[in-house]
Amino acid sequence: EAGVEPLHWRLLTSHRIANAQDAWRIVEWYKQRWIIEQFFRVLKTQGFKLEDSQIGTARAFHVLMEAYPALAK
């Protein structure tokens, strides 16, 4: 936007970065991490309350996970 000073972001990482392609790959990894964090936030606190559930089998957990995409919409 005209007249607005741009932000300069710095991403600290322990991964080796030799070029711009490496840097953008790391950015993509961190973007995926944000999606995963939001997924677990929903599982723990919004609707599913996973920590309070009585899931005793892997099959029951998979059924619960299959319902997640419907909530994300």
For the stretch 30-51, pLDDT in tens is: 888 888 888 777 777 766 666 6
CA 13 to chain centre: 17
Does pTM top 0.75 for this prediction?
Answer: no
Q: What is the pLDDT of residue 19?
A: 95
Question: For the purposes of burial, counting CB atoms within 10 Å of the CB of 23, is it exposed (0-12), middle (13-18) or buried (19 or more)?
Answer: middle
Q: H or E element: which one contains 26? A: helix 20-45
Angle at 22 between CA 17 and CA 26, to 5 degrees: 90
Whether residue 73 is predicted with pLDDT greater than 60 in this model: the reply is no
Task: Tell me the mean pLDDT in the region 9-27.
Answer: 91
